[in-house]
Amino acid sequence: MAEFEGGANQSKEKQHQLSSSVGAGDAQPAAGPQVTDERAASGGGARLQHGVSVDSTPDHFKRTRFFVLRPGTLNQAIKDVEALVDQELDGSILGLWLMAEVDHWNNEKERLVIITDNSLLVFKYDFVMFSCDQMQRIPLNFVDRISHGTFSFPKYSLLQRAGEGVRIFWDRQREPSFVSTWNPFATDLPFITFTYHPVRNVSATLSALCDIQTFREQLKDAAQKVHSMKPVPGKANGVLVLNQQIPIEAYVGLMSFLGNQNKLGYCMARGNLGF
């Protein structure tokens, strides 16, 4: 019994020494689970050094594919389109917006829009090549109606569009012709329609730059002022503002469905290619 007790005591001492050495050697790795628990408790994504968080949500990656969000791109685009403003014809710049145009076949197209003293200027800008591909000038004293609200489609249309928009009319006496209505490439329609740009929720600055409500109010005020100063003979002065649905007379729209789903009307990175 004495020998058994002595052996047991020696065995306990060895186990105690082994436990002490293992605890000392694993002191640093043991902190691993604690760090994991802290990250899980924080509810955030992975974090890089210096406290920079990484947003791994699908919406984040979709938004960062827009070339307009690349550093310095939007600033350069604004400089380029502002340089195209004719001071004698258009006057001073009152405001600039980044929006999406919705044509009569429900196709979305990325646009920069400027309101000046005398004109509404709509630019098709290439954010990849840093060039303005097209400019449309609409005299403000021709603008006679502004409607805003949700979009609507014909009863048997297969298309849908969520959100709100604003439509500007500048020739109340002229209705779109049958040929223009059914031509997806027609550019002679007496109205233009805008909605929110997809990047408007990225930052407060972009939210203000894409705000169609502020755009609508400033456009109405600018047009009213020009109507009083430069009335057009044979046209009623003033701007009528209507809160109503914006109709889009499109039924099937396979081209617009595919184009809008893939954002073909925007300058975006698409794999190894950018359009």
Task: Check if the beta carbon of residue 117 is closer than 8 Å to that of residue 92.
Answer: yes
CA distances from 132 to 136, 144, 236 (A): 11, 28, 34
Distance CA 91, CA 157 (A): 43
Q: Are 252 and 154 in contact (CB under 8 A)?
A: no
pLDDT average, residue stretch 211-219: 97
What's the average model confidence in pLDDT over 58-74?
77
Decide: 166 and 148 in contact? Cβ < 8 Å: yes
Supply the pLDDT for residue 181: 62
Residue 131, domain member (yes or no) = yes
pLDDT at 40 over 50: no
Residue 134: its H or E element: strand 131-139
- The reply to whether 196 falls in a domain is yes
SS3 103: coil
> What's residue 149's pLDDT?
95
pLDDT for residue 221: 97
Read off the pLDDT of each residue in 209-233 and give the average, rounded to a whole number: 94
Does residue 23 surpass a pLDDT of 80? no
Residue tagged 């408007």 (tokens): 200
Is residue 30 a part of any domain in this protein? no
Between 192 and 33, the higher pLDDT residue = 192
Give 197 or 21, the one with higher predicted confidence: 197
Q: What is the mean pLDDT of the chain?
A: 76
What pLDDT sits at residue 271? 59
Query: Angle at Cα 151 formed by Cα 145 and Cα 157, nearest 5°?
Result: 125
Phi, psi of 10 (to 5 degrees): -65, -40
Q: Is residue 105 situated within a structural domain?
A: yes
Per-residue pLDDT band for 10 (boundaries 50, 70, 90) equals very low
Which three-class secondary structure state does DSSP give residue 228?
Answer: helix
The pLDDT assigned to 82 comes to: 97
- What average pLDDT does range 99-126 have in this prediction? 94
Give bridge partners of residue 100 from the DSSP assignment: 110, 195
Asked whether residue 10 is domain-assigned, the answer is no
Comparing 50-64, 83-97, 131-145, 259-273, the range with the smallest average pLDDT is 50-64
Comparison of pLDDT for 103 and 156, the residue scoring more? 103
Give a yes or no: residue 107 inside a domain.
yes
Q: What is the pLDDT of residue 192?
A: 96
CATH number at residue 99: 2.30.29.30
* Beta bridge mates, 108: 102
197 close to 99: Cβ distance less than 8 angstroms:
yes
> Is 171 inside a domain boundary?
yes
Number of domains in the chain: 1
Mean pLDDT, range 154-168, rounded to an integer: 84
Domain membership of residue 130 as a residue range? 62-262
